[in-house]
Amino acid sequence: MNRIVAVAGLVLWVAICQAQHLYSTDRLFQDLKILAADSMEGRKTSTPGNFKARNFLISRLKDIQVKPLLNNYEQPFTITRQFGMLQSGDGVNILGVIDGQRKETIVISAHYDHVGVMRQNIYNGADDNASGAAALLAIADYFKRHKPRHRLILAFFDAEEIGLKGSEHFVRSVDLAAEKIVLNINMDMISRSEIGELYICGTSFTPSLRQALAPLKVPEKMLLRYGHDDPASGRNDWTNQSDHYNFHRQRIPFLYFGVEDHPDYHQPTDTVEKIDLDFYKDSVETILQAIQLLDNSLTK
């Protein structure tokens, strides 16, 4: 009898552990390290380093068995700059899709580009935004194993750093009505905060989203804040600061998860060594929990 109880207890313990770890933290950290490695040369749009990062992300989506949204995973686009037209296909979004029980679609996004190499210094962009891109892979892995109610588009946007060009192309080239996009959840800089703060931006435009997130269980050491989307609050307005802005311009509700700027923002010192692994893990688990709540509460 004692042996049976012991085995039952072990099974319960394993189940609890599996429930608490919704994704592989080892794989999450490994993906971040690869994306922020010197070999990626800062992932600047239209550079060999960006090409390497793109190939890595596509290989991971194939490993996870996420289908491409289009004929393949790549959505190339031309970028117009002040000093003329760059070559066709200069920017490339990476788009995957996970079918749900419904046709309504949530776009989960993170940009994978950064600012490259300047004055012989590699700007690795570990927090900005290898952290978001690696988190998106972890989220893809979870929902590939746990079928969502909503259809999910997984968007790794390019050219965010030069004017949100990748997400701009996406919302202009995709038939938003046909895709039935009801929400964008965007991640940009989610892996470090000296005081443990993670912000959710966007609920002032769609208060029902905050109501849907009311059951969110925040990790003990994390401070989850709402704001940066209301000029009356006295805080900086983040509404146009990352790719969610192009969805907002199309009147699609959004949530943006991010942290305050830190001294290594857009500096060559934004490296993997500066990442707070505990905070990063808590951030990803919080965002994943938020997606689960929204997936179950929207368009019932």
Condensed to tens digits (0 to 9), the pLDDT of residues 53-63 reads 999 999 999 99
For 154-200, the pLDDT digits (tens) are 999 999 999 999 999 999 999 999 999 999 999 999 999 999 999 99
With respect to residue 41, please indicate whether it lies within any of the assigned structural domains: yes
CATH of the domain at 65: 3.40.630.10
Domains: count for the chain? 1
Cβ atoms 98, 66 nearer than 8 A: yes
Enter the DSSP assignment of 232. Answer: G
With respect to residue 88, please indicate whether it lies within any of the assigned structural domains: yes
Q: How many C-beta neighbours within 10 Å does residue 84 have?
A: 6
Enter the DSSP assignment of 178. Answer: H
The whole-number pLDDT of residue 298 equals 84
With respect to residue 20, please indicate whether it lies within any of the assigned structural domains: no
With respect to residue 3, please indicate whether it lies within any of the assigned structural domains: no
Cβ atoms 77, 94 nearer than 8 A: no
Residue with the two structure tokens 């600061």: 241
With respect to residue 4, please indicate whether it lies within any of the assigned structural domains: no
pTM of the predicted model as reported, rounded to 2 decimal places = 0.91
Cβ atoms 102, 299 nearer than 8 A: yes
Range of the domain at 291: 27-297
User: How many Cα atoms within 13 Å fall on the side-chain side of residue 98?
Assistant: 26
The whole-number pLDDT of residue 85 equals 56
- Residue 15 in this model has a pLDDT that exceeds 70: no
With respect to residue 10, please indicate whether it lies within any of the assigned structural domains: no
With respect to residue 106, please indicate whether it lies within any of the assigned structural domains: yes
Burial group, residue 181, by CB count within 10 angstroms (0-12, 13-18, 19+):
buried
The whole-number pLDDT of residue 177 equals 92
Q: Euclidean distance between the first and final Cα of the chain, in Å?
A: 46
- Residue 49 in this model has a pLDDT that exceeds 70: yes
With respect to residue 53, please indicate whether it lies within any of the assigned structural domains: yes
